[in-house]
Amino acid sequence: MKKSISFIAIYGLLIFVLSYSNALAGQPSGWKAGISRAVITPVEPIWLAGYASRTHPSDGVLADLWVKVLAIEDAKGKKAVLITSDLLGFPKKMSDR
């Protein structure tokens, strides 16, 4: 839970600072931002990457796995999306899409 709170706080603060600095300059900010998150913890045991010496799939959940997204658009319409995930990697086909 701490990670998700810090993620929202950091990016919320970033958008606030950018908007406030434009307001001080007498310019409308025009910035847009959106955030979202989702739990992606598997419901059944899976083989975990990074545990080469394991001889069995996962056997419980210590903490949920999350995916989080920040989408921003500046006043000129330029867009950027930042995606974070509690995974080691994505298949090429998924990341290309």
What is the C-alpha to C-alpha distance for residues 86 and 31, in angstroms, rounded to an integer? 28
pLDDT, tens digit, 9 for 90 and up, residues 58-75: 888 999 999 999 999 988
Amino acid at 41: T
Instruction: Tell me if 67 sits within 8 A of 85, measured CB to CB.
Output: yes
- The pLDDT tens digits for 73-90 are 988 899 999 888 888 777
What is the pTM assigned to this prediction? 0.60
